[in-house]
Amino acid sequence: MDMRGDTRNRILVTSLLLFNEHGEPHTSTNDIADELDISPGNLHYHFRKKSMLVDALLEEFRADARRVLAPPEAEEVTIDDFWMFLHLLLECTASYRFLFRDLESLAESYPSVGRSLGHFAKGLAAMFELYLRGLSANGLLGMSEDDSPIAARNLAVIALFSDRFDTLTGKTGSADDSALRIAGSILNALKPFAAASGSAYINDLAAHYDV
């Protein structure tokens, strides 16, 4: 999202920052106006209700999600391809982390959020499965056809919800710390399936993400 733009873009950027920091249920339109040092009337000129802000941010998320869920272009999938996909994914989910942190309350208040995140979760599991099958076909993983969909679902759960588990268990930190932990967890989950040709590289990558 362009942070420079006009007043409308400034409102969206500030809303996203405050939603991510405090949660959407705990952020009012007056809070957003105060942060921007504009009048509530100016904000309401662009977004009459908070639901319009959520809808606009959800549309931004959908656009970023489509890029994340684009299939790999290379015919032979490498560990570097998977690593790049993982970084794009975690960058996207960190940028819109309020969606996942407040999922239940948002889905109840804004059904479109629940539908969009449901589609994203299914697409993400399918993408993980595509990469796992590609890495196995390339001799970098030793994963069976039956194991691929199960492992892909587990990786999608780690990617989307391990931050909430860390919060419940008292393991806090910055958004960057959380992304590093998630990346490390996903790479470590691949270790038991690593073939001899990919084992050393996967181990080296995973070691970089210990937080």
Mean pLDDT for 5-10 is: 84
| Mean pLDDT along residues 151-156 | 97
CA–CA distance, 113 with 106 (Å, rounded to integer): 7
Q: What percent of the chain has pLDDT over 90?
A: 76
CB atoms within 10 A of CB 87: 13
Written as one string, the DSSP assignment of 57-113 is HHHHHHHHHHHHTPPP-SSS--HHHHHHHHHHHHHHHHHTHHHHHTHHHHHHH-HHH
**CA trace torsion 84, 156, 27, 41 (10° rounding):** 60
The listed range with the strongest mean pLDDT (21-35, 172-186, 195-209) is 21-35
Domain ranges for the chain:
7-46, 64-207
Q: Looking at residue 210, what is its pLDDT?
A: 66
Structure tokens at 111: 């059904």
- The mean pLDDT value for 110-138 works out to 95
Q: What is the CATH number of domain 64-207?
A: 1.10.357.10
Q: Which CATH superfamily is domain 7-46 in?
A: Homeodomain-like (1.10.10.60)
The answer to whether 143 and 194 have CB atoms below 8 angstroms apart is no
Same fold, 7-46 and 64-207: no
On the question of pLDDT at 5 being above 60, the answer is no
Per-residue model confidence (pLDDT) at position 151: 97
What percent of the chain shows pLDDT beyond 70? 97
pLDDT band at 12 (very low <50, low <70, confident <90, very high): very high
Where are the alpha helices (H) located in 96-195, listed in sequence order?
97-101, 103-109, 111-137, 147-168, 175-190
The residue-averaged pLDDT of 136-153 equals 95
